[in-house]
Amino acid sequence: MESTDILIIGAGIVGCSLARELARAGQRVIVVDAGKVGGASSSAAAGLLSPRFDESGSGPFLDLCRRGAVIYESWVNELRSDGAGDVGYRRTGLLSIVTSADEAEKLRSSLPHDVSAGRRAQWLDRDELRRREPALSERVLGAAWYVDDAHVEPARLVQQVARVAALAGVTINEDEPVRKLDRDGDRISAVHTSRGSYRPGLIVLAAGAWSGELADAIGLRLPTRPVKGQMLLADCRVPPIRTPLHAGKALLIPWPDGRLALGVTVEEVGFDDRVRLDSLLRILSQTIELVPPVGELALSYAWAGLRPATPDGWPYMGPVPPWKNLWISAGHFRKGTLVAPICAKLLAESIRAGKLHDSLAAFRPERALGGQ
């Protein structure tokens, strides 16, 4: 049986980012995953680093998203200094487009609330918008232009975070699902996987949508569920738009190599991660309606991912009572890529201090434990 200071279950962007932070602080860290590094939602994400895209709501979670956006570029620079390759980070901006007068009024009135540290927002009327993006359809009435929003290539990012984590001393074991957790009083004494057993000082559940099932195995109710998202990639040398943009669920992201990512779906279908043609048809219908030249492009490939969601829409982060050596960081839904750096820093600090950072108090898992 192998001993380690910390065992992290889940090698997605959340787990790998946390592992790196803990290793840099001198902890011996092992990460195990049932599949590959970033093999679930981390590599399938759209990669938009925008606090407001896809409605993260208000309150503490929006505040956390804003903080995550502010530190992202410096974090990417940290990764590069530690030996990471290019992760595709770009300050592209983001256009949030409206096609009705009601939407336009609502979005314009919200702009003052979207301005925060390091983030500018301005309104573009129909003529200004079409001068910027002439391929947009005649239906567009205007857009909010988030000048400082950025984009990253998620699949490359999680691989590079895993790389620098390994360089910092983290052991990452792929294709090693957890089979059983042994209990000894108020501690988890051992974790058994398909390949061996571990005796960790502390365990962190970071298995995304699968975290709830692992919690169930030791009698905890921390419900997580998968919400499928599908996207496709169009082949082109020069995309018909220059700026990432969305209108409702229609999402278009030009990649640096000229290709164009299109999405996105939000589907409650359990753990079904198959790419479905009817979903791709909806994506194409919505994006072509917004940017008609999209219909002339060739298909490169399509993919799906299972986002980890919780009943109240906020992640679980922190120690999990009554267990003395169990923590969790899961359920970040569509914001995992954005908040991974800030969550890793705050959680690593919390674990070292033995108590949860005040900034994460709203995400304590006790809120789902039914008084345990």
> Within a domain: residue 84?
no
CB 361, CB 34: distance < 8 Å: no
Q: What is the pTM of this model?
A: 0.95
Are both 283 and 337 inside the same structural domain? no
- How does DSSP assign 28-69, residue by residue? -EEEE-SS-TTTTHHHHS--EE-STTTT--STHHHHHHHHHH
Of the three residues 287, 309, 331, the one that is the final residue of a domain is: 309
Q: Return the higher-pLDDT residue of 118 and 56.
A: 118
**What's the rounded mean pLDDT across residues 111-119?**
78
Please work out, in degrees rounded to the nearest 5, the angle formed at the alpha carbon of residue 255 by the alpha carbons of 301 and 46.
70
Are residues 233 and 143 part of one domain? Answer: yes
Percent of the chain having pLDDT more than 90?
Answer: 90
**Quick check: is 137 in a domain?**
yes
**Residue 28 and residue 160 in one domain:** yes
For residue 293, the 8-state DSSP code is: G
Same domain, 275 and 144: yes
If asked whether residues 71 and 26 sit together in one domain, one would say: yes
Same structural domain, 172 and 305: no
Q: How confident is the model at residue 56 (pLDDT cuts 50, 70, 90)?
A: low
Are residues 273 and 306 in contact, defined by beta-carbon separation less than 8 angstroms? yes
Say yes or no: 230 and 339 in one domain. no
Q: Is residue 12 left, alpha or beta, with left meaning phi > 0 and alpha meaning psi from -120 to 50?
A: beta
Residue 200 within any structural domain of the chain: yes
Residue 85 placed within a domain? no
Domain that holds residue 271: 93-149+226-309
Q: Give the separation between CA 180 and CA 10, rounded to whole angstroms.
A: 15
> Do 234 and 305 share a domain, yes or no?
yes
At 218-269, the pLDDT tens digits run: 999 999 999 999 999 999 989 999 999 999 889 999 998 899 999 999 999 9
242 plus 298 within the same structural domain: yes
CATH of the domain at 190: 3.50.50.60
Instruction: Of 125, 120, 115, give the one whose Cα is nearest residue 147.
Output: 120
Check whether residue 98 and residue 119 sit in a common domain.
Answer: yes
- Do 42 and 107 sit in the same domain of this protein? no
Q: Within this chain, do residues 213 and 355 fall inside the same structural domain, yes or no?
A: yes
Give the domain-ending residue among 288, 309, 330. Answer: 309
292, part of any domain: yes
Domain assignment present for 236: yes
38 touches 13 (CB < 8 A): yes
Q: Taking residues 12-20, what's their average pLDDT?
A: 98
What is the CATH number for 261? 3.30.9.10
pLDDT for position 81 = 97
